[in-house]
Chain A
Amino acid sequence: MYAYDEIDRTLVNERVAEFRDQVKRRLSGELSEDEFKMLRLQNGVYLQLHAYMYRIAIPYGTLASNQLRRLAHVARRYDRGYGHFTTRQNIQFNWIKLAELPDAMADLAEVGIQSMQTSGNNMRNVTSDQWAGVAPGEVEDPRIWAELLRQFTTLHPEFSFLPRKFKIAITASEHDRAAIKIHDIGLRLLKNEQGETGFEVLVGGGLGRSPFIAKTIKPFVHGHDILSYVEAILRVYNQYGRRDNIYKARIKILVHELGIEKFAAEVEEEWQQIREGVLKLDQDIIEDIRSRFFYPAYEALPAMPDELKQAAHDATFEAWRKNSVFPHKAQGYAIVVVSLKPVGKPPGDATADQMDALADIADKYSFGEIRVGHEQNLALPHVKKRDLPAVWKALEAIGLAIPNVNLVSDIIACPGLDYCSLANARSIPIAQEITRRFANHDTANLIGRLHINISGCINACGHHHVGHIGILGVEKNNEEFYQITIGGRADEGAVLGTLIGPAVPYAEVADVVEDIVEAYLALRAHPEELFVDTVTRLGVEPFRERVYATR
């Protein structure tokens, strides 16, 4: 957990008062929609098909139980009793009324939640590994740096009118759970040969219409230089970014057009002018931020408590434990991933009742802390292993002990045409149908790790390019069609998937996915070869044949 200081509280409260005034002026006609749009977008307020949508930041995915309860309250009081967790550690409410938004914002501000810069052409929520600070083997807690960047970039005048939106993600683990290679800037914490902490800096990743995997711009930037280095990148982007063409405005296009060497040289030149200036970080500042993160006082606990040995006789518990419980840096503790992917339900949605119950579970068993991950699942970061059976029961009572983490039914999906005004096709019902087809956990386990990602249009909010199986909604003669790619991945080995053939109609998507999975089961070299590795080994051809032989 992170404790905000007075500056943050004042800032957030001022923003609420300002927005309240802007809404009042909009509703009285003093502000036109053209004038107001810019202002609402600075505060995460979009317009979707049926209503306004309100996007709230959950910086680096860390939530306190009282904050989750407050989100539940907002869902109940101002929305339709649920919220949608997104791939960028945000939560969205889909039915909020403009007239009531200032009140919702004020309620959230009381617990330190805000929505600044969750839309618009500015620096978006800085995201990180959802297991930050608790995963074994991290260089250090990446959230310290995420928080530094958050403070640095919030309302920074130079970053408030960028050519286009800008997204940063940070990881501190070998295994990248923050998808840093598909961000405008990706940061990987590491130590150099002298044992100093710094970052490998990647730049120019992104999805959307023109997807790119980020490239390394500098293999090591010292921690105390990171703000000046990020500033240098943004200055070059601000200067050369294509403001004239929205489709070419992201930094990925600039990096691609200039080439990484040329881009890096420009950044280097800029950086040399500012690196010894005010942005050089004092160790004191870093330590101050570090001291504001709360770490539980872990007890010395046995690695294999009796409670766990006994519970292992229950096959349902064991299935859940094997799937959803992950190693923790402290002995006797575990990370519990809470899948928000129940069979037949929209991926990433949680009801107000579930949020309240999860907050209670977190208070009782996880030092009041909850994490939000980019796969649209939640996690309880500090659970005593001896409490796992109790946590499982509590999750089961709210329908969230779902042992499908990383399996075929753990689908990432954007809201699609059911909500989104930019959509070509629906995403959620496709996801729902696929989860029904693979509802049997034994089958899902037999298939193993397989990430399906679905977007309702080329903007790629559902990360379809980097899904092991990616599904993209397109429109053909007024009908919903879907392009299918395979072999993408979003981790440290990030690659874009390859199209397997012509788009298929809505009613056939789940059949095609079944065909692809059956082909994989027949083709894999051995049961441990993951779907995505089989595709890498064999290419798309055998899958294409299987899918289109009968179509």
Chain B
Amino acid sequence: MTSPLQQKIKITGPSIVTANRTWDGAVIYRTDAKSWSDELTDAAIVRTADEARALLTEAVADDLNAIGPYIAPVEVEADGAVKPGNMREHIRLTGATIALPAQA
């Protein structure tokens, strides 16, 4: 498989780097502090392809803690609040859109 770093990076707006945590698979976001958080609000936001590449490079290097890092779009609202940029990322952040069977 081609490494994410070999792919051409093109971003159309504010973006973040996200992955799944190795030990449990949970969704995580790359932070400014060269670490990971499970809160989107902690994610480092990049706005140019160069920034995105740098953040992704850092994330990919952390193979021990994160699986499959990639760049994903976000929306930044006027008050600075960050929201997922598409349905897939919305579902990764907030969970399945359906009630899980064993929930009351």
Contact = CB atoms under 8 A, between A and B. Distances in A.
A292 to B, nearest CB: 34
Given A27-B22, A27-B23, A32-B63, A349 B91 contact: no
Contacts of A345: 101
Nearest to B26: A51
Contacts of B96: 50, 418-419, 428
A99 B25 CA distance: 10
Contacts of B87: 417, 478, 480
B98 A428 contact: yes
A51 B100 CA distance: 14
A99 B27 CA distance: 16
B24 interface: yes
A351 B67 CA distance: 29
B101 A349 contact: yes
B23 A99 contact: yes
Given A81-B102, A82-B102, A352-B102, A47 B24 contact: no
Contacts of A34: 1
Interface string A467-483: 00000000000101000
A52 B27 CA distance: 11
B93 to A, nearest CB: 10
A97 B21 CA distance: 10
A50 B95 contact: yes
B37 to A, nearest CB: 16
A80 B92 CA distance: 17
A33 B63 contact: yes
A98 B100 contact: no
A21 B14 CA distance: 41
Interface string A26-39: 11010011100000
- Contact residues of B: prevailing secondary structure: loop
Given A47-B25, A480-B87, A82 B100 contact: yes
Contact of B25 (A50, A80, A352, A417): A50
B10 interface: no
Contacts of B64: 29
A385 interface: no
A426 interface: yes
Interface in A390-445: 417-419, 423, 426, 428-429, 432
Given A32-B63, A49-B92, A417-B87, A350 B101 contact: yes
Contacts of A418: 91, 96-98
A285 B96 CA distance: 48
A223 interface: no
Contacts of B68: 33, 47
Interface of A: 26-27, 29, 32-34, 47-52, 75, 80-82, 96-99, 345-346, 349-353, 417-419, 423, 426, 428-429, 432, 478, 480
Interface of B: 1, 20, 22-27, 63-64, 67-68, 86-88, 91-92, 95-98, 100-102
8 contacts: A49-B88, A49-B91, A50-B92, A52-B25, A81-B100, A99-B23, A417-B91, A480-B87
Given A50-B25, A417-B87, A428-B96, 19 more contacts: A26-B22, A27-B22, A29-B64, A33-B63, A33-B67, A47-B25, A50-B27, A51-B20, A51-B24, A80-B100, A80-B102, A81-B102, A97-B23, A97-B24, A346-B98, A351-B101, A352-B102, A423-B88, A426-B97
